[in-house]
Amino acid sequence: MKKKVAFYTLGCKLNFSETSTIARSFVDEGFDRVDFAEAADMYVINTCSVTENADKRFKSIVKQAQKKNPDAFVAAVGCYAQLKPEELAAVDGVDLVLGATEKFKITDYINDLSKNDFGEVHSCEIEDADFYVGSYAIGDRTRAFLKVQDGCDYKCTYCTIPLARGISRSDTLENVLKNAAEISAKNIKEIVLTGVNIGDYGKGEFGNKKHQHTFLDLVKALDTVDGIHRLRISSIEPNLLKNETIDFVSKSNSFVPHFHIPLQSGSDTILKLMRRRYLTNLYIDRVAKIKEVMPHACIGVDVIVGFPGETDEHFLETYHFLNELNISYLHVFTYSERDNTVAAEMDNVVPKNVRAKRSKMLRGLSVKKRRAFYESQLGSTRTVLFESENKEGYINGFTENYVKVKAPWNPELVNTLHTITLTEIDEDGLVRFDFVKTEAAV
C-alpha cells in the first residue's frame, strides 16, 4: 500500500507555490497526495509567521490532523518553523520541524514515519539560506503561482521575513522560463509571479549579488512565452516598480493591468519609523503613472494600522491619503508585535482596541473603493477567466483588471476566457455581464 501524505498551507502565495513543489517531491518518492481533511500517514504543515493569528492557528491544525489519524507523522516547515523551531517541536503531536534550507529536502528526513516522543528539529542559521529553490503551485486549474525570487534585504522594523527566509536571491531567468513553459503546457491560462520582494529580481541569480537580469528583463522575457494568456504581477514595492516596467505592461501581450503595491502608511512620519524605502510622494507618482498609461488598471494597496507611535492624527493622514488616491481596494493588516524586531521594542504602543477600530475604518474604506472601481468599469468590454468552483449555483471569474464577476453555474465555462461587457453590480457586490458573441472560448 502506498503511504498517504496531506498538506496544509498557511500564509502567502509564495508558501502555496513551495508546498506544491514539496508535494511533488513526495509523489516522486511514491506517496499518494490526499486532501488534508482525509486520513493520511503523514501531514505536512507549511507555516507562516506574519501575524499573531498564523502562530495560533498552527496548534489547531495539528489537532485536526491528529483527529483524522492519531498515529500520523506530523511535520512543520516554513517561516514559523525557522523562527521558532523549538516552540513548534514542543506542540503535542509534532514529530519533525524543518527550517528554511531543510524544507525542500523533507523526504530525506523521514524514515518509517514512526512517531517521535519529542519533535525533532533541523533548522539552519538563517545566514545559510543563501541558495535558491524554484517552485510553482497550480491552484484551481485556472491559474498558477510561479516563484521567481525569495528572501529580502530590506530591514523594515516590523517584519520577520528576512529572519525567516534569509537574503534576497532569485531564480535564473532560464529556469523561470522553463517553469512558465511547463505551466503553459498544462493548459493553465494565468500565471501570477510571486516572491518575497519580486521587484528585487536578479539579485542573487548566481548565488552572489551580481546582477545580470532585472525585474524588467524578467517581465519582457516572460511576455514571449507561448501559450500563456495572462501574466499577473503580485505585490511589488513602490520604489522598485519603475516607469519602464509600467510602460511595458501597458503595451505587453500577456501582462494584465493589475498592480498590488504595499503602502503600509500614508504618513511620512510612520513610514520613516517603519524604515520603508520611499515616502508618500513617490507612491502618489506610481499611482499617477499607472493611471496615465492604463486608466482602467486595478491598484491594490497593503496598509498596516496601529504601528507603534501612530497617533490619531497619523492614522487620519493615512485614511485621507487613501481616500483621495485613485486606487481600487485595500488589504488591511492590524499591527502585531513580532519577537526580534525593532518595532517590538518601540514606545508609544497603540492599544489593541484602537488598532481594531482603525482596521475596521480602513476595511470600510476598501469596500467603498472597490465599489467605486467596479462602477467605473460598467459598460466596458473586458476578458474574463472563469474559475473552477461552483459557489452556491454560480461561477465566478476575474477580468484582466481584477473585477470579480458572476454568472449561473456552467461547468463548460471553467478555465475558459470570454469577451464580456460589464453591466451591473449585484447585491453581493459582484458584477453581472453580457457575453460578447464575437468569438469562441479560448
Please list the pLDDT of the chain residue by residue as tens digits (442 residues). 789 999 999 988 888 899 999 999 999 999 999 999 999 999 999 998 776 676 678 999 999 999 999 999 999 999 999 999 998 999 999 999 998 889 989 998 887 787 777 788 887 676 777 677 778 887 656 889 999 999 999 999 999 999 999 999 999 999 999 999 999 999 999 999 999 999 999 987 666 666 789 999 999 999 999 989 999 998 999 999 999 999 999 999 999 999 999 999 999 999 999 999 999 999 999 999 999 999 999 999 999 999 999 999 999 999 999 999 999 999 999 999 998 999 999 999 999 999 999 999 999 999 999 999 999 999 999 999 999 889 999 999 999 999 999 999 999 999 999 999 999 999 999 999 999 975 555 6
- Enter the pTM of the model: 0.89
Mapping DSSP onto H, E and C, the string for the chain reads: CCCEEEEEECCCHHHHHHHHHHHHHHHHCCCEEECCCCCCCEEEEEECCCCHHHHHHHHHHHHHHHHHCCCCEEEEEEHHHHHCHHHHHCCCCCCEEECCCCHHHHHHHCCCCCCCCCCEEECCCHHHCCCCCCCEEECCCCEEEEECEECCCCCCCCCCHHHHHCCCEECCHHHHHHHHHHHHHCCCCEEEEECCCHHHCCCCCCCCCCCCCCHHHHHHHHCCCCCCCEEEECCCCCCCCCHHHHHHHHHCCCECCEEEEEEECCCHHHHHHHCCCCCHHHHHHHHHHHHHHCCCCEEEEEEEECCCCCCHHHHHHHHHHHHHCCCCEEEEEECCCCCCCCHHHCCCCCCHHHHHHHHHHHHHHHHHHHHHHHHHHCCCEEEEEECCCCECCEEEEEECCCCEEEEECCHHHCCCEEEEEEEEECCCCCEEEEECCCCCCC
Q: Give the mean pLDDT of the chain.
A: 92
How far the first Cα of the chain sits from its last, in Å, is 41
Please name every residue paired with 408 in a beta bridge, in sequence order, or none if there are none.
394
CA–CA gap between residue 36 and residue 14 (Å, rounded): 19
Reported as a single tens digit per residue, the pLDDT across 5-46 is 999 999 888 888 999 999 999 999 999 999 999 999 999 999
Residues 6 or more apart whose CB falls under 8 angstroms from that of 74 comprise: 42, 43, 45, 62, 65, 66, 93, 94, 95, 96
Instruction: Give the integer Cα–Cα distance in Å for 251 and 223.
Output: 11
